[in-house]
Structure formats: structure tokens, C-alpha cells
Amino acid sequence: MADVTRLVTHVELDGDAPPGRRSLSVSARLEAVLTDGRTVVLLNDRGWTSSLSGEGPPGWITAEEIEETARTVVGPDEPGEDQTHVEATAAHWRSLAATLTHAGAPTAPETLERLPRTVHLGPRLRAWLG
């Protein structure tokens, strides 16, 4: 049975880069990387849009800012009504662990929370950043 070694968030432009470079829409996919080389998609429904009110100069958003936002959007999410931060965080990691169990790689939520997390910028996004 394969173990999870790390979590990777893949971010890429969502659609075509908008004209004028005034806004940026990005999709994010969180994957678990297993010791046998396989990956398991944990989240594939995340993303965000950033924009400027005026024409954006080159470099108005950096790769580091995108990476930081990517780590945030894949969770844990903010708590819902009648939920504390601790409860929301625990629910997030339990959900990801359940996905891995279903994929044949059972992992404790606490283990997932401690794994290294990296962000991979897709080729279109890297090109957009210049």
C-alpha cells in the first residue's frame, strides 16, 4: 500500500489570459503524491480571480502572491455557521483523508495536515507572468 509523501496544488490560467493583463482567473487542483508515483486528486473545484481597477503594469501580481493564494484556496476553508476554526480545519482534513481512503491510500487526517505542501504553476500561467 502506498503512502502519501506530499500535497501539490497545481494552478493554471482559467481560460485565456484576458486582454490588457488587468485581471487574472486561476483554477487550482490539490493532489496527493504517493510513494508509488501515483497521484490522487483531492480537490478540483477551487480557484480565484484577481484584478486591478486600472491598466496593470507588468508584474502587478507575482508568482509568490499566486502561490500564497493557492495555498489558501485549497483549504482549510473558513468556518461555516455554528462551526469553529478548529472544527472546520478538522472537517477539511477528514474529507481529504476519506478521499484518499476511497482511492486505496488510507491516511490519517493528522498525517495529511503535517505533510509538505508545494505549489506548481502551470505553463500558461508562467508564460502569462512573463
| pLDDT confidence of residue 19 | 44
Rounded Cα distance between 81 and 118, Å, is 30
The pLDDT of residue 17 is above 60: no
Question: CA 49 to CA 93: how far, in whole Å?
Answer: 25
- Angular region, 81: left φ>0, alpha ψ -120 to 50, beta rest: beta
Query: Alpha-carbon distance 72 to 99, whole Å?
Result: 20
pLDDT digit string, tens, across residues 28-41: 999 999 999 999 99
pTM more than 0.75: yes
Higher pLDDT, 64 or 56: 64
Give the tens place of pLDDT for each residue, 67-78: 999 999 999 989
